[in-house]
Structure 1
């Protein structure tokens, strides 16, 4: 979902190109080490959240040079969480399906994988989200298709807004992310160095 004006669209496009290049320049060793540290920091943050026992957590499997959030699978299952993965629908739609350990995964659109239609649809209470850029205000720049934006808006309208946490390499930080009218800040963004929360 996007209602950005021309200037905002151009600024977002330029930022996406720059951040993709910076992220892709990480060596496999750097990428793995940073992903591990980010996931460890996320777990410290997660343990402070007031979610119910057995909460449903929406994860993502990495596309290209995205952070390897699959490192969170075992620790979150050990904490008693139920996990889910996103499935894209059409050009901007998205839902989450229950992700059982060891279940087969299918093409979920845009290069990622998710559970097949036999897995039940769920509403995660916390979304762990990928991003291309962020700022200290927890504004997030995604890939531009608007899947997460639309999904979150629908959840807010339905009265079931999830906790929103982004995972990012520190190098993805901008002084100010270009935001449009309908862009919402996240509740936290976790990097290898620190955890950002809106003031």
Structure 2
């Protein structure tokens, strides 16, 4: 029997295989192009806190995008995995210590201030034309977004991926968070909510 969870797993594997097949130099150039698009289309000022993510494997490198948004005055943060169920967002500042976060990623040390992002760049394995996403399967971002919403914290969610990660349709599950926007090398795509 094909369940939504099994179908998501298959779609995730296929999308990640396509992403892994991209030329590494092309991925760098695409990440830089995406930073320029972000500079033009994502308004982030001094009142904003932007969370990104440290790239793992063949992910989009969001560091140029973070730098571009910081130039507009935004504060930056990265996720810190506290346990199997919880991530928080710690401030990213120049010169501060970075530590191993597991999963091949790095982030600010526990001394860094914990912040609530107002703009969240969300990693994903796959997405569809409705803004539905497939993450990596741990549910960290779904829970983090739910916590921010429960606190009443307004947050603009923007998925970040390459076009090749798009699938025909992501199976819907009640806990899934739909992304109103996704940034790819083709531009910032907005989805009807």
TM-score (norm 1): 0.91
Between the aligned partners of 1:90 and 1:114, the Cα distance in structure 2 is 14
Could you tell me how far apart the structure 2 residues matched to 1:42 and 1:8 are?
A: 33
Structure with more relative contact order (C-alpha pairs < 8 Å, separation 6 or more): 1
User: What is the aligned residue count?
Assistant: 192
Q: CA deviation at 1:151?
A: 0.5
Distance 2:166 2:73 in 1: 32
* CA–CA separation in structure 2 for the residues paired with 1:86 and 1:63: 13
Report the counterpart of residue 159 of structure 2 in structure 1: 166
Counterparts of 1:1-199 in structure 2 under 5 Å?
A: 7-47=3-43, 53-199=46-192
What SS class does the counterpart of residue 40 from structure 1 fall into? helix
Show CA shifts across 1:3-41 (max 9, x none): xx9600100100111111111111111111211222222
- Deviating runs (4+, > 3 A) in structure 1? none
Structure 1 residue runs of 5 or longer lacking an equivalent are none
Once superposed, what is the RMSD of the aligned Cα atoms? 1.6
1:102: how far off? 2.1
Question: Which digits, 9 at most, give the CA deviation of each residue in 1:141-181, with x for residues without a partner?
Answer: 11010000001011111111411001111111112112211
Distance across 2 between alignment mates of 1:195 and 1:54: 22
TM-score where L is the length of structure 2: 0.93
